[in-house]
Amino acid sequence: MNISTGLLPTIDCPNRLLRMLDEDAYRALMPAMSRRRLHVGDVVGPRGEAASNVYFPCHGVLSVLTLMRDGTMVETGTIGNEGFAGIDVLLGCEYWTDTVFCQVEGDCLWMTAEAFH
């Protein structure tokens, strides 16, 4: 059972990962979530800094930039409402390994890394 079946109160966020959660996981995560409006250029995951939050885009797009050996930054991924920013947290990393910033303005739901664990 997932929230797209209409059996749970829906959140005003079409993030596909959140909508795939079963009822128990959904109810466990939602109290820890907050809404945030992201604007173009907002950095949510600065490379080398503590990975203290995870972000689930509702609308808009996040970009992942990887630092190359020659010092240039290359976009290596985009994250929309199909995913989340915080794979570093999921894998147990304490710091962001890449820079994640807002490429297309929109809302997201976020929670602390501590609550995510």
Q: Report whether pLDDT(3) > 80.
A: no
Check residue 83 and give its pLDDT: 97
User: Tell me: the pLDDT tens digits for 49-65?
Assistant: 999 999 999 999 999 99
The pLDDT value recorded for residue 1 is 40
- The CATH number for 12-116, chosen from 3.40.1170.10, 2.60.120.10, 3.40.430.10, 1.10.150.20, is 2.60.120.10
Q: CA dist 16 to 2, 4, 25, 83, 111, Å?
A: 11, 9, 14, 7, 16
Residue ranges of domains in the chain: 12-116
Residue 12 is predicted with a pLDDT of 78
Strands ordered across the beta sheet of 61-67:
43-45, 99-104, 61-67, 73-79
Looking at the predicted structure, is the pLDDT value of residue 2 above 70? no
Percent of the chain past pLDDT 90, that is, above it, reads 80
Separation between Cα atoms, residue 22 and residue 44, nearest integer Å: 27
